[in-house]
A and B are shown apart, each in its own frame.
Chain A
Amino acid sequence: MQVTASVAQSKPSVTILAIQGEISAQTSDQFETAARQAIELGARNLLLDLTQVPYVSSAGLRSIQAIFNLLHTPDTEADSEAMRKGLRDGSFKSPHLKLLKPTPEVAKVLRITGFDMFIESYRDLQAALSAF
């Protein structure tokens, strides 16, 4: 499994992580480390390019969750309450973490586990970048 990071020329700035290979128990650590590194280097918005990811296991979802938590430390009580309300009624969509072109298999996993409720997916790079 390989992860390649690049920074898109957009406003706000978005770091794109292109992942090749499945995100499962054996590879999720590698993926999480790459994402953490990007965040340490200053990334506040991450787009995960899943075009070449055939499969995401529950370990992979755990890593995605961990990255979501890193990008979403509510700074104020108001933010925290807003996020909770949004999660309650299903309106909350992560402004800092998005997915690009998940395969049908992966999209299905995201749907069943409900991860698609708070992390949005896009079929087009430009559309994804403008959504941040």
Chain B
Amino acid sequence: MDEEIITRVPLFANLPDKEVTHLATTLRRTGWQAGSILFREGERGDIFYIVFRGSVAIIQGLGTADEHVLVVRGPGEFIGELSLLSPDALRNGTARAEENCLLLEMTRAQFDALLQRNPLLAYEMLRVQSTRLREANDAAMDDLRQHNRQLAQAYADLRDAQARIIEQETFARELQLAREIQTRMLPSVLPALPGYDIGARSMPARMVGGDFYDVFPLDAERLGIVIGDVSGKGIPAALLMGLTCALLRVEAYHTGSPEEVVRNVNRYLLERSSEEFVTLLYGVLYGRSAEFSYIRAGHELPLISNDHVTSPVPMGHSLPLGLFQDLQLDSQTVTLPPESTLLLYTDGVTEAFHAEHGMFGEPRLREILAHGSHDSSQALCDRIVEAVVSFGGDAARLDDITVVAVRASLR
């Protein structure tokens, strides 16, 4: 039985029968339990093993992150031959029994004696060695290739991540620029009209928004005043806001009545068909008579506060712009009593929401208005915006906020 195994080893395949029998009787048989270690990587060794039964794995880097099985040897195969060739050779891997094994052991001394009796064995050894070396080399090359692939992937991932960061930074910068442009679209220095104190403040919910206001002189005695709200928030609303704001001012300079102005703007908006609509209030303030003639298109009703009392304005039917070609518009004229304040606002003020307190609502707004009779119009606007911002606990529900206040002085 042993003889059969011995001749299965390619090294000994061509040995004369006498020699094989001699080996079968002189080689030591050893049994190994599964998991036991025959020898360790880096050790000096002088025993050569033939696997009779079972299997033995040669493992490199055992116990480290690089641990990997070089090869598994089964019955008829051999292990540790390097140490036979060279006394200084160190084991190039750890040999571990993968199952219960029976091995034949040959010492270097025994091999030297065998070699002396059969010199041609040396050639076999060389042939086996070069095969072994080539196998080891291939394994090392595969290893290197895999590491290279991993590195290349990691590099590609890093480059992608970097590209994304740059993209986000670019976008953030552009958004910041857009915000600056949009802020400049709204007049920060309001035109003066003798006898009136005018203030305004607009705060988008995100970097850019859909609310707008405008105040511009039509002539020495009249002021055009606008407040508007594009449905939606963010970039889509902001783009339409810019368009509407500009359209309205240009129309106001060239067209006669506020009603015609608003109808013309509606026509232009419908040409740029979009899903959004715009609520708007555009009016003309006549300096001498303190009359404010306005057109309301679906927008919040203006408030007039006089002596701590807010009086309602008449209300007619109207629709926002951008929905239908044919439009009903609410046309009114109100007179501002001396020391009264006219307040225009967008729904972001009254509809600001807090999980516990509910909506900011008109009553809170009226209260601030009633208590603000001694403030400048600008201070009043700032106070309203700050009150809404500090009220709104639910940041997700905060909409664009805009207020315009006009205070008529004593005659």
Contacts and interface: CB of A to CB of B under 8 A. Distances in A.
Interface of A: 24-26, 55, 57-59, 61-62, 65-66, 84-85, 87-88, 90, 105, 112-115, 117-118
B325 A84 contact: yes
Interface stretch (B76-84, B132-140, B238-246, B296-304): B296-304
Given A57-B351, A117-B317, A87 B328 contact: yes
A57 B325 CA distance: 23
B233 interface: yes
B347 A58 contact: yes
B328 A88 contact: yes
Contacts of B328: 87-88, 90, 114, 117
A58 B234 CA distance: 14
Given A58-B277, A61-B277, 14 more contacts: A25-B233, A55-B353, A58-B229, A58-B279, A62-B232, A85-B326, A87-B326, A88-B328, A90-B317, A112-B298, A113-B298, A113-B319, A115-B319, A117-B319
B275 interface: yes
A80 to B, nearest CB: 10
Nearest to B322: A65
B231 interface: yes
Interface of A is mostly: helix
Contacts, number: 61
Contacts of A61: 231, 277
Contact of B232 (A25, A65, A114, A118): A25
B396 A58 contact: no
B229 A62 contact: no
Contact of B317 (A55, A57, A105, A114): A114
A115 B277 CA distance: 12
A113 B320 contact: yes
A65 B319 contact: no
B323 A65 contact: yes
Interface of B: 229, 231-233, 275-277, 279, 298-301, 317-320, 323-328, 347, 351, 353, 359, 396-397, 399
B299, B325, B397 pick with most chain A CB within 10 angstroms: B397
A55 B399 CA distance: 14
A62 B274 CA distance: 11
Contacts of A57: 347, 351, 399
25 contacts: A57-B347, A57-B351, A57-B399, A58-B232, A59-B231, A61-B277, A62-B275, A85-B326, A87-B324, A87-B326, A87-B327, A87-B328, A90-B317, A105-B359, A112-B300, A112-B301, A113-B298, A113-B319, A113-B320, A114-B317, A114-B318, A114-B320, A114-B328, A117-B328, A118-B319
Contacts of B324: 84, 87
A34 B80 CA distance: 74
A26 B394 CA distance: 13
Contacts of A55: 351, 353, 359
Given A87-B328, A114-B318, A117-B328, A58 B231 contact: yes
A84 B277 contact: no
A114 B319 contact: yes
B317 to A, nearest CB: 5
Contacts of B301: 112
Which 9 A-B pairs rank lowest in CB-CB distance, beginning with the nearest? Answer: A58-B231, A114-B319, A88-B326, A113-B298, A87-B326, A114-B318, A84-B326, A62-B231, A114-B298
A25 B209 CA distance: 14
A39 to B, nearest CB: 17
A27 to B, nearest CB: 12
Contacts of A88: 326, 328
A59 B279 CA distance: 13
A26 B275 contact: no
Nearest to B353: A55
A3 B49 CA distance: 77
Contacts of A65: 277, 323
Nearest to A114: B319
Nearest to B346: A58
Contacts of B300: 112
A106 B342 CA distance: 25
